[in-house]
Amino acid sequence: MAAPIMSIRCTEQVTRLLCVRLWNSVDLSRAGNRNVHSSALRCAGQDWRVRRGFARSGSEYGPLTDLPDWSFADGRPAPPWKGQIRRKEEREAFAHRVVLLSTEMDQGMINWNNNRQKMKAEQLDKERSKLQSKASLNKTTNTQ
């Protein structure tokens, strides 16, 4: 009787371990470097989704994870699941944080501009009230 087939979910650590064992067991002079691959595995289609602005995997966010799976026969929506509620709360907290930081940034820019204008005004006042030499005063009176 054959041994049962086990499905193993490959994580990055398992992949690295397998690659290291493969690397140590393969004679590279015979196999060549083209046949040995030691980088971590990527999910199928991950690059395609990221390039188009989608989530890395189909289960992170989007209509398949955010919308209900079913509805009642009379058209009422299904009650939200715990994961949907948790994701909604996380998104709301993130949006609240973004608004808070953007208002802080706006207020900081206003304060910075006000301080810069005050510094310029003080510098102009210092230049106007600076003592002038008598020689420059005599030159201006002689020319008039």
pLDDT per residue rounded down to tens, the chain (144 residues):
444 444 344 455 556 665 666 666 555 555 555 555 555 556 667 888 888 887 777 777 777 777 788 889 998 988 988 988 998 999 999 999 999 999 999 999 999 999 999 999 999 999 888 877 777 666 666 655
Q: Is the pTM of this model over 0.75?
A: no
Residue 101, pLDDT score: 97
- Long-range pairs of 66-73 with CB within 8 A, sequence gap ≥ 24: none
Q: How far apart are CA 68 and CA 77, in angstroms?
A: 7
Q: Quick one: three-class SS letters along 106-134?
A: HHHHHHHHHHHHHHHHHHHHHHHCCCCCH
